[in-house]
A = this chain, B = another copy of it.
Amino acid sequence: MSFYPPVKVGLLGLGTVGSGVTRVLSRNAGEISRRAGREILITHAAARNLDTTTAHTAGMKLTGEALDVVNDPEVSIIVELMGGYEPARSLVLQALANGKHVVTANKALIAKHGNEIFATAQATGMMVGFEAAVAGGIPIIKAIREGLAGNRIEWVAGIINGTANFILSEMRDKGRDFPEVLAEAQALGYAEADPTFDVEGIDAAHKLTILASIAFGIPLQFDRVYIEGIRHITREDVAYAEELGYRIKHLGIACCNEHGAQLRVHPTLIPKQQLLASVNGVMNAVLVQADALGQSLYYGAGAGAEPTASAVVADIIDVVRTLTADPDNRVPHLAFQPDALSDLPVLPMTEVKTAYYLRLQAQDRPGVLAEVTRILADRDISIEALVQKEPAPGASDVPIILLTYEVQERWMNEAITAIEALDSISAPVARIRLEHLGFD
């Protein structure tokens, strides 16, 4: 077991996740070398400021200059935990050019620059591990890329942003409104001071981009993801959805058929009995529909120092195991061989078919329902359920809740425009997509 020399790792970034990685590698050093068959040592680390109080940096060569680590001939694996596009991108490319393997937790980097990074890795025979970039510590990249390698993957639906899931869970549990819960999430440290990436769906879109690639064998196409956040979800919508047997979750959804791929992030009504509906708080979960296996679900912590470190360390061990393997036989970065990626088009949202939840504010007078249902019928949109609620205290308008069957989004857009033009409709229509996820 001690036959092999220790593997020397250089760390870029000693923030939350970087410190977590140093703690996990030091605390579990014994277990890890019992598994990997050799020691894994962080010998070099670069950090913007070297106040390293929560990191275990004993024996490490510390520097403020990341390029020093990347260029150090002693280091064989670079772990990039700085986040952001630059200088992360340049440093990763330089590491690969220097003949070092790379492990990263940087979802934005992979989603936006992954194609370039993997091409470079391919050319230099290096590996890039990015398990930590999607759903934190859940080994979802490995599950899809290796565990389900015998399947044609049909779709993936994931709760892949813990902050958004926490907010929606709290809105449901406590009957509270979005701004109130967001403020609480910020106070608890779940949401950043600038929560845009989380609540607008950008972070989820980064992760979904990666999931779609490894599931379907298509290049990373962040710019083609339809992205909708959760700011417009009201506590009334949450409550009405519950009454109808659904729960609102902020999902990243990727699916694929012969016409094209769909990549979309948006709030979604899903059936309460679906296991995904029971994933609450900051937890993440990814549901995968595959042709041989059927549905499988992977659940765990999607963020945090040690959960993310768990994925980073697993990637390091994976790299160590394949150091001696023929590069052609390694698991391809995007699950499919680089020359076997598909140029399947990503469909525009107007061509996507889903079911819908609609909430209308209508004047309480005869004929309104007739007008609305006529507009839907004219576009072949079938209604699955329709509920007219009591007006809110002091209000004259009545909320009308509609669930529709599946229809192409272009027709729903038209219908909503027509409904909003009615004299009897007093506010914009609230529209939330609905997916049965196998529970039809």
Binding site for B on A (CB under 8 A): 1, 3-4, 20, 24-25, 27-28, 31-37, 131, 137-139, 142-143, 146-152, 217, 275, 278-279, 285, 290-301, 306-307, 309-314, 316-318, 320-326, 328-332, 335-337, 339-340
- A217 CA to B322 CA in the complex, in Å? 21
B310 contacts A321, C-beta separation under 8 Å: no
Partner of A143, one of B34, B37, B139, B285: B139
* Chain B hits for A292, CB < 8 A: 20, 24, 28, 137, 306-307, 309-310, 313
- Shortest A55–chain B CB gap in Å is 15
Known: A147-B142, A278-B278, A320-B329. A299 touches B297 (CB 8 A): yes
B290 contacts A296, C-beta separation under 8 Å: no
Highest count of chain B CB atoms <10 Å: which of A35, A312, A324, A339? A35
Copies held by the complex: 2
A217 contacts B32, C-beta separation under 8 Å: no
- A28 CA to B217 CA in the complex, in Å? 14
- A340 CA to B33 CA in the complex, in Å? 9
B142 contacts A143, C-beta separation under 8 Å: yes
A300 contacts B296, C-beta separation under 8 Å: yes
| A and B contact pairs by CB, cutoff 8 A, 11 listed | A137-B294, A139-B147, A142-B142, A143-B147, A147-B311, A150-B310, A275-B278, A290-B310, A293-B300, A293-B306, A325-B326
A314 contacts B146, C-beta separation under 8 Å: yes
- Shortest A130–chain B CB gap in Å is 13
* Chain B hits for A151, CB < 8 A: 24, 28, 31, 310
Partner of A340, one of B34, B139, B142: B34
B217 contacts A34, C-beta separation under 8 Å: yes
Known: A275-B279, A293-B137, A297-B297. A332 touches B146 (CB 8 A): no
- A252 CA to B406 CA in the complex, in Å? 41
* Chain B hits for A150, CB < 8 A: 24-25, 28, 32, 309-310, 312-314, 316-317
* Chain B hits for A25, CB < 8 A: 150
Highest count of chain B CB atoms <10 Å: which of A34, A291, A318? A34
* Chain B hits for A297, CB < 8 A: 285, 297-300
* Chain B hits for A138, CB < 8 A: 296
* Chain B hits for A320, CB < 8 A: 329
- A32 CA to B152 CA in the complex, in Å? 9
- A217 CA to B33 CA in the complex, in Å? 12
* Chain B hits for A152, CB < 8 A: 27-28, 31
- A339 CA to B3 CA in the complex, in Å? 12
* Chain B hits for A340, CB < 8 A: 1, 33-34
- Shortest A298–chain B CB gap in Å is 6
* Chain B hits for A146, CB < 8 A: 139, 142, 314, 317-318
- Shortest A124–chain B CB gap in Å is 18
- A217 CA to B32 CA in the complex, in Å? 11
- A307 CA to B149 CA in the complex, in Å? 12
Highest count of chain B CB atoms <10 Å: which of A146, A322, A326? A146
* Chain B hits for A148, CB < 8 A: 139, 310, 314
- A312 CA to B149 CA in the complex, in Å? 10
A336 contacts B32, C-beta separation under 8 Å: no
Highest count of chain B CB atoms <10 Å: which of A20, A291, A320? A291
* Chain B hits for A279, CB < 8 A: 275
- A25 CA to B149 CA in the complex, in Å? 11
- A291 CA to B25 CA in the complex, in Å? 12
B147 contacts A314, C-beta separation under 8 Å: yes
Return the chain B residue nearest A322 by Cβ.
B325
